[in-house]
Amino acid sequence: MNAATQKPLLVVGAGIAGISAALEAAEAGQEIVLVERDPAIGGRVVRNLHYFPKLCPPTCGMEINIRRLERNPRVRVITGAQVTKASRSGDGWSVTLTHAPRYVNSRCTACDECSQVCPAKVPDPHNLLMLEVAAIRLPHADAWPRIYTMDRNACPAGCTKCVEACKFNAVNLDATEQTEELEFSAVILATGWQPYPIEKIEELGGGKIPDVIANVQMERLASPTGPTGGKIQKPSDSKPPKRVAFVQCAGSRDVKHLPYCSAVCCLASLKQAIYVREQLPDSEVTIYYIDRRAPGRNEDMLTKVAGMDGVKLVKGKVGKIEKGAQGLTLRVEDVESGKLTDAAADLAVLATGMMSSLKDAGLPFDIERDDDGFGLDNPRAGLFVAGVARRPEDVAASVRDATGAAAKAIAAAKQSP
Ligand SMILES: Cc1cc2nc3c(=O)[nH]c(=O)nc-3n(C[C@H](O)[C@H](O)[C@H](O)COP(=O)(O)OP(=O)(O)OC[C@H]3O[C@@H](n4cnc5c(N)ncnc54)[C@H](O)[C@@H]3O)c2cc1C
Protein backbone atom coordinates (compact mmCIF):
# COMPACT_ATOMS: atom_id res chain seq x y z
CA MET A 1 0.00 0.00 0.00
CA ASN A 2 1.56 3.34 -0.93
CA ALA A 3 0.92 6.77 0.58
CA ALA A 4 -1.14 7.85 -2.43
CA THR A 5 -3.73 5.07 -2.05
CA GLN A 6 -3.69 4.62 1.70
CA LYS A 7 -6.41 6.31 3.73
CA PRO A 8 -5.17 9.06 6.05
CA LEU A 9 -4.84 8.80 9.80
CA LEU A 10 -7.11 10.94 11.94
CA VAL A 11 -5.57 12.69 14.95
CA VAL A 12 -8.13 14.26 17.30
CA GLY A 13 -6.79 17.10 19.47
CA ALA A 14 -3.96 19.45 18.53
CA GLY A 15 -2.21 19.90 21.85
CA ILE A 16 1.44 18.97 22.08
CA ALA A 17 0.57 15.23 21.93
CA GLY A 18 -1.69 15.47 18.86
CA ILE A 19 0.71 17.79 17.02
CA SER A 20 3.63 15.46 17.76
CA ALA A 21 1.71 12.35 16.68
CA ALA A 22 0.61 14.07 13.45
CA LEU A 23 4.10 15.30 12.59
CA GLU A 24 5.88 12.06 13.40
CA ALA A 25 3.43 10.06 11.28
CA ALA A 26 3.48 12.60 8.41
CA GLU A 27 7.26 12.75 8.38
CA ALA A 28 7.21 8.94 8.07
CA GLY A 29 5.10 9.32 4.89
CA GLN A 30 1.56 9.00 6.26
CA GLU A 31 -1.28 11.34 5.22
CA ILE A 32 -2.83 12.99 8.29
CA VAL A 33 -5.90 14.99 9.22
CA LEU A 34 -5.37 16.78 12.53
CA VAL A 35 -8.64 18.03 14.03
CA GLU A 36 -8.75 20.60 16.83
CA ARG A 37 -11.94 21.75 18.58
CA ASP A 38 -10.55 25.19 19.52
CA PRO A 39 -9.86 27.96 16.98
CA ALA A 40 -6.08 27.60 17.50
CA ILE A 41 -3.73 24.69 18.12
CA GLY A 42 -1.40 24.15 21.08
CA GLY A 43 -3.73 22.90 23.81
CA ARG A 44 -3.01 23.67 27.44
CA VAL A 45 0.74 24.11 27.11
CA VAL A 46 0.40 27.52 25.44
CA ARG A 47 -1.40 28.80 28.54
CA ASN A 48 1.77 28.38 30.61
CA LEU A 49 4.16 31.25 31.22
CA HIS A 50 7.18 28.93 31.11
CA TYR A 51 7.57 25.23 30.98
CA PHE A 52 9.89 22.97 32.88
CA PRO A 53 12.48 21.55 32.72
CA LYS A 54 14.15 24.38 30.76
CA LEU A 55 11.75 27.12 31.94
CA CYS A 56 11.48 28.58 28.46
CA PRO A 57 8.23 30.03 27.05
CA PRO A 58 6.06 27.40 25.36
CA THR A 59 6.24 29.40 22.13
CA CYS A 60 9.83 28.13 21.67
CA GLY A 61 8.67 24.55 21.13
CA MET A 62 5.50 25.60 19.32
CA GLU A 63 7.35 27.70 16.73
CA ILE A 64 9.35 24.67 15.61
CA ASN A 65 6.24 22.51 15.43
CA ILE A 66 4.32 25.16 13.49
CA ARG A 67 7.14 25.41 10.97
CA ARG A 68 7.10 21.60 10.59
CA LEU A 69 3.33 21.68 10.06
CA GLU A 70 3.50 24.50 7.52
CA ARG A 71 6.17 22.71 5.53
CA ASN A 72 4.53 19.31 5.51
CA PRO A 73 1.92 18.89 2.75
CA ARG A 74 0.84 15.56 4.27
CA VAL A 75 -0.83 17.19 7.29
CA ARG A 76 -4.18 18.89 6.91
CA VAL A 77 -4.88 20.90 10.07
CA ILE A 78 -8.51 21.69 10.80
CA THR A 79 -9.36 23.98 13.71
CA GLY A 80 -12.79 24.70 15.16
CA ALA A 81 -14.08 21.25 14.28
CA GLN A 82 -15.20 18.11 16.06
CA VAL A 83 -15.85 14.49 15.22
CA THR A 84 -19.61 14.13 15.49
CA LYS A 85 -20.10 10.66 13.99
CA ALA A 86 -17.81 7.67 13.58
CA SER A 87 -18.41 4.12 12.49
CA ARG A 88 -16.23 1.19 11.49
CA SER A 89 -15.79 0.92 7.74
CA GLY A 90 -13.88 -2.19 6.68
CA ASP A 91 -10.72 -2.10 8.77
CA GLY A 92 -10.85 1.68 9.11
CA TRP A 93 -13.23 4.43 10.16
CA SER A 94 -15.91 6.52 8.47
CA VAL A 95 -16.04 9.86 10.23
CA THR A 96 -18.22 12.96 10.11
CA LEU A 97 -16.47 16.20 11.02
CA THR A 98 -18.58 19.18 11.99
CA HIS A 99 -16.93 22.53 11.37
CA ALA A 100 -18.20 25.29 13.65
CA PRO A 101 -18.67 28.62 11.83
CA ARG A 102 -15.63 30.81 12.45
CA TYR A 103 -17.14 33.99 10.93
CA VAL A 104 -13.63 35.10 9.91
CA ASN A 105 -11.88 33.60 6.88
CA SER A 106 -8.27 33.18 5.81
CA ARG A 107 -8.16 36.69 4.29
CA CYS A 108 -7.78 37.90 7.92
CA THR A 109 -4.43 39.64 8.46
CA ALA A 110 -4.83 39.90 12.25
CA CYS A 111 -4.72 43.72 11.94
CA ASP A 112 -7.07 43.98 14.99
CA GLU A 113 -9.29 46.73 13.53
CA CYS A 114 -12.42 44.56 14.06
CA SER A 115 -11.55 43.93 17.69
CA GLN A 116 -11.06 47.62 18.32
CA VAL A 117 -14.58 48.53 17.20
CA CYS A 118 -16.31 45.49 18.72
CA PRO A 119 -18.74 46.59 21.46
CA ALA A 120 -19.26 43.09 22.93
CA LYS A 121 -17.05 41.68 25.66
CA VAL A 122 -16.82 38.01 26.63
CA PRO A 123 -14.80 36.08 29.26
CA ASP A 124 -11.60 34.86 27.61
CA PRO A 125 -11.24 31.04 27.57
CA HIS A 126 -7.48 31.37 27.02
CA ASN A 127 -7.29 33.25 30.33
CA LEU A 128 -9.58 30.77 32.10
CA LEU A 129 -12.36 33.38 32.06
CA MET A 130 -10.33 35.74 34.30
CA LEU A 131 -10.23 38.50 31.66
CA GLU A 132 -12.80 40.07 29.34
CA VAL A 133 -11.96 40.35 25.66
CA ALA A 134 -13.73 41.46 22.51
CA ALA A 135 -16.17 38.96 21.01
CA ILE A 136 -14.10 39.10 17.76
CA ARG A 137 -10.41 38.58 18.48
CA LEU A 138 -7.27 36.55 17.93
CA PRO A 139 -7.68 33.47 20.20
CA HIS A 140 -4.43 34.47 21.96
CA ALA A 141 -1.27 36.42 21.21
CA ASP A 142 0.66 33.48 19.69
CA ALA A 143 -2.32 31.77 18.06
CA TRP A 144 -1.89 29.61 14.97
CA PRO A 145 -3.59 29.81 12.55
CA ARG A 146 -3.30 33.56 12.89
CA ILE A 147 -6.96 34.14 12.10
CA TYR A 148 -9.51 35.89 14.30
CA THR A 149 -12.42 34.06 15.83
CA MET A 150 -15.79 35.29 17.03
CA ASP A 151 -18.28 34.52 19.81
CA ARG A 152 -21.26 35.23 17.59
CA ASN A 153 -23.79 34.77 20.42
CA ALA A 154 -22.35 37.80 22.19
CA CYS A 155 -22.97 40.18 19.24
CA PRO A 156 -25.57 42.92 19.88
CA ALA A 157 -28.56 42.56 17.54
CA GLY A 158 -27.89 44.08 14.12
CA CYS A 159 -24.26 45.06 14.88
CA THR A 160 -22.00 44.97 11.79
CA LYS A 161 -19.14 47.13 13.06
CA CYS A 162 -16.53 44.39 12.57
CA VAL A 163 -17.66 43.78 8.98
CA GLU A 164 -17.37 47.52 8.20
CA ALA A 165 -13.97 47.81 9.91
CA CYS A 166 -12.44 44.89 7.97
CA LYS A 167 -10.60 46.15 4.87
CA PHE A 168 -10.00 42.59 3.67
CA ASN A 169 -13.60 41.38 3.52
CA ALA A 170 -12.67 38.62 5.97
CA VAL A 171 -15.72 38.75 8.26
CA ASN A 172 -18.90 36.89 7.35
CA LEU A 173 -21.61 37.14 10.01
CA ASP A 174 -23.79 34.64 8.11
CA ALA A 175 -21.30 31.76 8.17
CA THR A 176 -22.92 28.44 9.07
CA GLU A 177 -21.88 25.07 10.44
CA GLN A 178 -20.55 22.66 7.79
CA THR A 179 -20.10 18.92 7.83
CA GLU A 180 -17.65 16.72 5.97
CA GLU A 181 -17.45 12.91 5.59
CA LEU A 182 -14.00 11.34 5.56
CA GLU A 183 -12.49 7.85 5.61
CA PHE A 184 -9.53 6.99 7.85
CA SER A 185 -7.36 3.96 8.33
CA ALA A 186 -6.83 4.51 12.08
CA VAL A 187 -7.45 7.13 14.76
CA ILE A 188 -5.25 8.71 17.43
CA LEU A 189 -7.12 10.38 20.27
CA ALA A 190 -5.04 13.14 21.84
CA THR A 191 -7.76 15.18 23.50
CA GLY A 192 -5.69 16.00 26.58
CA TRP A 193 -6.95 17.01 29.97
CA GLN A 194 -9.03 19.30 32.10
CA PRO A 195 -7.99 20.65 35.48
CA TYR A 196 -9.80 19.18 38.48
CA PRO A 197 -12.26 21.96 39.40
CA ILE A 198 -11.14 23.80 42.55
CA GLU A 199 -14.81 24.43 43.44
CA LYS A 200 -14.98 20.74 44.32
CA ILE A 201 -12.26 21.16 46.96
CA GLU A 202 -14.48 23.06 49.36
CA GLU A 203 -12.42 22.12 52.43
CA LEU A 204 -9.53 24.15 50.97
CA GLY A 205 -11.74 27.13 50.14
CA GLY A 206 -11.77 26.38 46.41
CA GLY A 207 -14.28 28.61 44.61
CA LYS A 208 -15.26 30.29 47.92
CA ILE A 209 -12.18 32.21 49.08
CA PRO A 210 -10.89 34.56 46.36
CA ASP A 211 -7.25 34.26 47.46
CA VAL A 212 -7.31 30.50 47.02
CA ILE A 213 -6.48 29.88 43.38
CA ALA A 214 -5.57 26.87 41.22
CA ASN A 215 -2.14 26.19 39.72
CA VAL A 216 -3.52 26.72 36.19
CA GLN A 217 -4.72 30.19 37.25
CA MET A 218 -1.25 31.02 38.61
CA GLU A 219 0.20 30.36 35.13
CA ARG A 220 -2.13 33.01 33.69
CA LEU A 221 -1.57 35.48 36.57
CA ALA A 222 2.17 35.32 36.00
CA SER A 223 1.86 35.74 32.24
CA PRO A 224 2.26 39.16 30.55
CA THR A 225 -0.77 38.30 28.40
CA GLY A 226 -2.79 37.29 31.47
CA PRO A 227 -5.53 39.12 33.38
CA THR A 228 -3.09 41.20 35.49
CA GLY A 229 -0.53 41.83 32.75
CA GLY A 230 1.82 39.39 34.51
CA LYS A 231 1.58 40.82 38.04
CA ILE A 232 1.22 38.13 40.68
CA GLN A 233 -1.39 39.61 42.97
CA LYS A 234 -4.19 38.60 45.31
CA PRO A 235 -7.56 38.46 43.55
CA SER A 236 -9.25 39.93 46.66
CA ASP A 237 -7.49 43.33 46.61
CA SER A 238 -5.04 43.27 43.66
CA LYS A 239 -2.08 43.66 46.06
CA PRO A 240 1.06 41.54 45.82
CA PRO A 241 1.04 38.66 48.33
CA LYS A 242 3.81 38.49 50.92
CA ARG A 243 3.23 34.87 52.05
CA VAL A 244 2.44 32.41 49.27
CA ALA A 245 1.49 28.80 50.10
CA PHE A 246 1.55 26.03 47.52
CA VAL A 247 -0.73 23.19 48.56
CA GLN A 248 0.35 19.92 46.94
CA CYS A 249 -1.99 17.02 46.19
CA ALA A 250 -4.99 19.39 46.44
CA GLY A 251 -7.76 16.97 45.52
CA SER A 252 -5.23 14.37 44.34
CA ARG A 253 -4.31 11.00 45.85
CA ASP A 254 -7.54 11.44 47.74
CA VAL A 255 -10.45 9.01 47.40
CA LYS A 256 -12.89 11.93 47.84
CA HIS A 257 -11.49 13.58 44.70
CA LEU A 258 -8.89 12.14 42.29
CA PRO A 259 -7.35 8.95 43.69
CA TYR A 260 -4.23 9.17 41.53
CA CYS A 261 -1.09 11.34 41.27
CA SER A 262 -1.07 13.70 38.27
CA ALA A 263 2.73 13.44 37.91
CA VAL A 264 3.34 17.12 37.12
CA CYS A 265 1.90 19.09 40.07
CA CYS A 266 5.06 19.01 42.24
CA LEU A 267 7.09 20.29 39.30
CA ALA A 268 4.47 22.90 38.38
CA SER A 269 4.55 24.29 41.94
CA LEU A 270 8.36 24.33 42.01
CA LYS A 271 8.29 26.27 38.74
CA GLN A 272 5.65 28.67 40.09
CA ALA A 273 7.67 29.17 43.30
CA ILE A 274 10.40 30.50 40.98
CA TYR A 275 7.87 32.87 39.31
CA VAL A 276 6.88 34.24 42.74
CA ARG A 277 10.41 34.65 44.12
CA GLU A 278 11.71 36.27 40.92
CA GLN A 279 8.84 38.76 40.76
CA LEU A 280 8.38 39.42 44.50
CA PRO A 281 11.80 39.32 46.17
CA ASP A 282 10.31 40.04 49.63
CA SER A 283 7.87 37.15 49.44
CA GLU A 284 7.98 34.00 51.55
CA VAL A 285 7.01 30.85 49.71
CA THR A 286 6.03 27.63 51.50
CA ILE A 287 5.34 24.42 49.62
CA TYR A 288 3.30 21.90 51.67
CA TYR A 289 3.72 18.39 50.32
CA ILE A 290 3.19 14.72 51.10
CA ASP A 291 5.88 13.46 48.70
CA ARG A 292 8.18 15.50 46.46
CA ARG A 293 7.93 13.88 43.05
CA ALA A 294 10.54 15.20 40.63
CA PRO A 295 11.82 12.22 38.65
CA GLY A 296 14.83 12.12 36.33
CA ARG A 297 16.42 15.40 35.34
CA ASN A 298 13.55 17.34 36.95
CA GLU A 299 15.24 16.66 40.28
CA ASP A 300 17.60 19.53 39.42
CA MET A 301 14.68 21.94 39.70
CA LEU A 302 13.73 20.52 43.10
CA THR A 303 17.30 20.96 44.33
CA LYS A 304 17.41 24.51 42.94
CA VAL A 305 14.11 25.60 44.50
CA ALA A 306 14.76 23.86 47.84
CA GLY A 307 17.99 25.87 48.10
CA MET A 308 16.44 29.24 47.20
CA ASP A 309 16.22 32.05 49.77
CA GLY A 310 12.64 32.66 50.84
CA VAL A 311 11.42 29.16 49.96
CA LYS A 312 10.51 26.49 52.53
CA LEU A 313 9.37 22.95 51.74
CA VAL A 314 7.24 21.54 54.55
CA LYS A 315 6.20 17.89 54.70
CA GLY A 316 2.63 18.40 55.74
CA LYS A 317 -0.87 17.76 54.42
CA VAL A 318 -3.10 20.84 54.29
CA GLY A 319 -6.56 19.67 55.36
CA LYS A 320 -8.41 22.97 55.63
CA ILE A 321 -8.08 26.59 54.52
CA GLU A 322 -10.14 29.37 56.05
CA LYS A 323 -10.17 33.14 55.91
CA GLY A 324 -8.19 34.31 58.95
CA ALA A 325 -8.00 37.71 60.68
CA GLN A 326 -5.17 38.63 58.33
CA GLY A 327 -5.15 36.56 55.21
CA LEU A 328 -5.64 32.81 55.15
CA THR A 329 -5.26 30.17 57.87
CA LEU A 330 -4.08 26.77 56.74
CA ARG A 331 -4.65 23.74 58.96
CA VAL A 332 -1.58 21.55 58.37
CA GLU A 333 -1.09 17.99 59.52
CA ASP A 334 2.54 17.07 60.05
CA VAL A 335 2.63 13.83 58.08
CA GLU A 336 5.25 12.18 60.29
CA SER A 337 4.08 13.16 63.80
CA GLY A 338 0.37 13.46 62.96
CA LYS A 339 0.30 16.80 64.86
CA LEU A 340 -1.91 19.64 63.61
CA THR A 341 -0.62 23.19 63.28
CA ASP A 342 -2.00 26.44 61.85
CA ALA A 343 -0.04 28.40 59.26
CA ALA A 344 -0.77 31.79 57.69
CA ALA A 345 -0.67 32.83 54.04
CA ASP A 346 -1.88 35.69 51.85
CA LEU A 347 -2.33 33.61 48.70
CA ALA A 348 -2.80 29.83 48.47
CA VAL A 349 -2.18 28.02 45.20
CA LEU A 350 -3.85 24.63 45.01
CA ALA A 351 -1.84 22.13 43.01
CA THR A 352 -4.85 20.51 41.38
CA GLY A 353 -4.53 17.46 39.17
CA MET A 354 -5.35 16.62 35.56
CA MET A 355 -8.39 14.61 34.44
CA SER A 356 -8.45 12.87 31.07
CA SER A 357 -10.83 14.71 28.75
CA LEU A 358 -11.81 11.32 27.34
CA LYS A 359 -13.95 10.99 30.46
CA ASP A 360 -16.51 13.33 28.92
CA ALA A 361 -15.19 14.33 25.49
CA GLY A 362 -18.47 13.21 23.92
CA LEU A 363 -16.57 11.50 21.12
CA PRO A 364 -18.50 8.94 19.05
CA PHE A 365 -15.84 6.24 19.48
CA ASP A 366 -16.23 3.32 21.84
CA ILE A 367 -13.23 4.19 23.98
CA GLU A 368 -11.93 1.81 26.63
CA ARG A 369 -10.80 3.55 29.80
CA ASP A 370 -8.95 2.60 32.94
CA ASP A 371 -10.43 3.00 36.43
CA ASP A 372 -9.33 6.65 36.54
CA GLY A 373 -10.95 7.54 33.20
CA PHE A 374 -7.73 7.59 31.11
CA GLY A 375 -8.02 6.13 27.60
CA LEU A 376 -6.63 2.76 26.56
CA ASP A 377 -5.46 1.70 23.11
CA ASN A 378 -7.74 -0.60 21.15
CA PRO A 379 -5.46 -1.87 18.35
CA ARG A 380 -8.13 -4.17 16.93
CA ALA A 381 -10.35 -1.15 16.31
CA GLY A 382 -7.43 0.97 15.07
CA LEU A 383 -7.90 3.39 18.01
CA PHE A 384 -4.86 4.72 19.86
CA VAL A 385 -4.55 7.21 22.70
CA ALA A 386 -1.72 9.71 23.23
CA GLY A 387 -0.68 12.33 25.79
CA VAL A 388 -2.60 13.15 28.96
CA ALA A 389 -5.78 11.64 27.51
CA ARG A 390 -3.91 8.36 28.15
CA ARG A 391 -2.22 9.12 31.46
CA PRO A 392 -1.02 12.12 33.47
CA GLU A 393 2.38 13.17 32.16
CA ASP A 394 4.51 16.17 31.28
CA VAL A 395 5.27 17.57 27.82
CA ALA A 396 8.39 15.48 27.22
CA ALA A 397 6.55 12.25 28.09
CA SER A 398 3.52 13.33 26.02
CA VAL A 399 5.77 13.81 22.99
CA ARG A 400 7.37 10.37 23.48
CA ASP A 401 3.96 8.83 23.99
CA ALA A 402 2.62 10.51 20.84
CA THR A 403 5.54 9.19 18.81
CA GLY A 404 4.67 5.69 20.01
CA ALA A 405 1.00 6.21 19.11
CA ALA A 406 2.04 7.39 15.63
CA ALA A 407 4.10 4.22 15.10
CA LYS A 408 1.24 1.98 16.28
CA ALA A 409 -1.30 3.81 14.10
CA ILE A 410 0.95 3.60 11.02
CA ALA A 411 1.30 -0.14 11.58
CA ALA A 412 -2.50 -0.44 11.88
CA ALA A 413 -2.95 1.71 8.76
CA LYS A 414 -0.66 -0.59 6.73
CA GLN A 415 -2.98 -3.48 7.51
CA SER A 416 -6.06 -1.43 6.58
CA PRO A 417 -7.06 -1.38 2.85
C1 LIG B 1 -0.42 23.81 36.34
C2 LIG B 1 0.26 22.95 35.32
C3 LIG B 1 1.47 23.36 34.81
C4 LIG B 1 2.16 22.54 33.92
N5 LIG B 1 3.40 22.93 33.50
C6 LIG B 1 4.14 22.09 32.75
C7 LIG B 1 5.48 22.40 32.43
O8 LIG B 1 5.99 23.45 32.82
N9 LIG B 1 6.19 21.50 31.69
C10 LIG B 1 5.66 20.30 31.26
O11 LIG B 1 6.36 19.51 30.64
N12 LIG B 1 4.36 19.99 31.53
C13 LIG B 1 3.59 20.84 32.26
N14 LIG B 1 2.29 20.54 32.54
C15 LIG B 1 1.68 19.35 31.88
C16 LIG B 1 1.27 19.69 30.43
O17 LIG B 1 0.29 20.72 30.45
C18 LIG B 1 0.73 18.44 29.72
O19 LIG B 1 1.76 17.48 29.69
C20 LIG B 1 0.31 18.75 28.27
O21 LIG B 1 -0.70 19.71 28.24
C22 LIG B 1 -0.18 17.47 27.59
O23 LIG B 1 -0.55 17.78 26.27
P24 LIG B 1 -1.77 17.04 25.53
O25 LIG B 1 -1.61 17.35 24.10
O26 LIG B 1 -1.84 15.62 25.95
O27 LIG B 1 -3.08 17.75 26.12
P28 LIG B 1 -3.69 19.23 25.96
O29 LIG B 1 -2.64 20.24 26.18
O30 LIG B 1 -4.88 19.24 26.89
O31 LIG B 1 -4.20 19.30 24.46
C32 LIG B 1 -5.34 18.59 24.04
C33 LIG B 1 -5.97 19.28 22.82
O34 LIG B 1 -7.09 18.51 22.39
C35 LIG B 1 -8.18 19.40 22.08
N36 LIG B 1 -9.44 18.66 22.23
C37 LIG B 1 -10.04 18.23 23.35
N38 LIG B 1 -11.17 17.58 23.07
C39 LIG B 1 -11.31 17.61 21.72
C40 LIG B 1 -12.29 17.11 20.81
N41 LIG B 1 -13.35 16.43 21.25
N42 LIG B 1 -12.11 17.32 19.49
C43 LIG B 1 -11.02 18.01 19.03
N44 LIG B 1 -10.06 18.51 19.84
C45 LIG B 1 -10.21 18.31 21.16
C46 LIG B 1 -8.02 20.51 23.11
O47 LIG B 1 -8.73 21.69 22.71
C48 LIG B 1 -6.50 20.68 23.13
O49 LIG B 1 -6.06 21.57 22.12
C50 LIG B 1 1.59 21.31 33.47
C51 LIG B 1 0.33 20.92 33.95
C52 LIG B 1 -0.31 21.72 34.90
C53 LIG B 1 -1.61 21.24 35.50
CATH of the domain at 345: 3.50.50.60
Closest CA to 11 of 70, 67, 66, 83: 83
How many domains in the chain?
A: 2
Residue 401 CB less than 6 A away from ligand 1: no
| Nearest protein CA to atom 27 of ligand 1, as residue | 192
In a domain, residue 161? The reply is no
The span from the CA of 267 to the CA of 396, in Å, is 13
Domain assignment present for 107: no
Looking at residue 369, the DSSP 8-state letter turns out to be: B
Q: Could you tell me if 362 and 378 lie in one domain?
A: yes
Mean pLDDT, the chain cut into blocks of 10 residues (417 residues total)? 71 98 97 98 97 90 96 98 96 97 97 98 98 98 97 98 98 98 98 98 97 98 97 98 98 95 96 98 97 89 94 96 94 88 97 94 93 96 97 97 97 75
Are 246 and 368 in a shared domain? no
**Residues 224 and 291 placed together within one structural domain of the fold:** yes
Note whether residue 160 is domain-resident: no
Does 293 lie in the same domain as 273?
yes
**Are residues 362 and 347 located together in one domain of the fold?**
no
Residue of 12, 34, 44 to test ligand 1 pocket, by largest number of atoms within 8 Å of CB: 44
* C-alpha span between 112 and 248 (Å, rounded): 41
299-306 helix and 265-279 helix, angle to the nearest 10 degrees: 40
- Runs of H (alpha helix) within 118-193: 161-165
pLDDT value of position 4: 45
Atom of ligand 1 nearest to the CA of 83: 42
Residue nearest to ligand 1 atom 39, measured at CA = 191
Question: What letter does residue 217 receive in the DSSP assignment?
Answer: H
Q: What pLDDT was estimated at residue 416?
A: 61
Could you count the other beta carbons within 10 Å of the beta carbon of residue 307? 8
Ligand 1, atom 3: closest residue by C-alpha: 268
Ligand 1 pocket test target in 34, 45, 356 with most atoms within 8 Å of CB: 45
Range of the domain at 253: 197-352
State whether 284 and 368 are in the same domain.
Answer: no
CA 343 to ligand 1 centroid distance, Å: 33
397 Cβ below 6 A of ligand 1: no
Query: Among 304, 330, 352, which residue terminates a domain?
Result: 352
Whether residue 392 contacts residue 354, with contact meaning beta carbons closer than 8 Å, is answered with yes
- The last residue of one of the domains, among 352, 368, 391, is 352
> How crowded is residue 158: how many other Cβ atoms within 10 Å of its Cβ?
5
- Cβ(66) – ligand 1 distance below 6 Å: no
Do residue 292 and residue 365 come from a single domain?
no
Whether 287 and 403 map to the same domain: the answer is no
**Ligand 1 pocket member 354 (CB < 6 A):** yes
pLDDT in the model for residue 119: 98
Which H helix or E strand runs over 394? none
Mutate to test the pocket of ligand 1, among 395, 399, 401 (most ligand atoms within 8 A of CB): 395
Tell me the sheet residues that pair with 86.
Answer: 95
CA 265 to chain centre: 14
Residue 62: DSSP 8-state: H
The pLDDT assigned to 335 comes to: 81
* 374 close to ligand 1 (CB < 6 Angstrom): no
